[in-house]
Amino acid sequence: MGRLTVTILLITIPLFSADVNIYERNCVKCHEKLPVSLDKFFFNYLLKYSSERQVKQALRKYLKHPKRKSSLATEEIILRYGLMPKSTLSDAELREAIEIYWEKYKVFGKIE
């Protein structure tokens, strides 16, 4: 009976984790601990960079090389939580995560 339980667990765990995309696994997991939600960061990027191309480019640059000067987090957030660590995602994974982030929070085409 114990072997059957272990076998079922080993088979079903990957099935449940497959529903979690790269953005959820790598971005949301850490950011949910912050008092400022990811949508607020998105709107800050949108206000500063305004176009989809520029927002994605700025995000990619910051995530690959986080610097205080280029951070859109408030000074209080940086002092309390620090700068985020450099992303360990590959370029393709980073692009995918940013694309999911963009699609989740973009306002273009959603306002009538």
Give the separation between CA 95 and CA 89, rounded to whole angstroms.
9
Position 110 in a domain: no
Position 5 in a domain: no
Residue 79: helix, strand or coil by DSSP?
helix
Position 54 in a domain: yes
Give residue-wise pLDDT tens across range 52-84. Answer: 999 999 999 999 999 999 999 999 999 999 999
Write the DSSP string, 88-108: -S-HHHHHHHHHHHHHHH--T
Q: What's the domain count of the chain?
A: 1
Domain limits at 90? 22-105
Residue 20: helix, strand or coil by DSSP?
coil
Position 42 in a domain: yes
Give the C-alpha distances (Å, rounded to integers) separating 38 from 13, 24, 104, 106, 107.
Answer: 27, 11, 10, 12, 14
Tokens of 7: 């076998």
Position 50 in a domain: yes
Q: What string of pLDDT tens digits covers the 112 residues of the chain?
A: 666 554 454 454 444 445 789 999 999 988 888 888 899 999 999 999 999 999 999 999 999 999 999 999 999 999 999 999 999 999 999 999 999 999 999 977 666 6
Position 17 in a domain: no
What is the reported pTM? 0.76
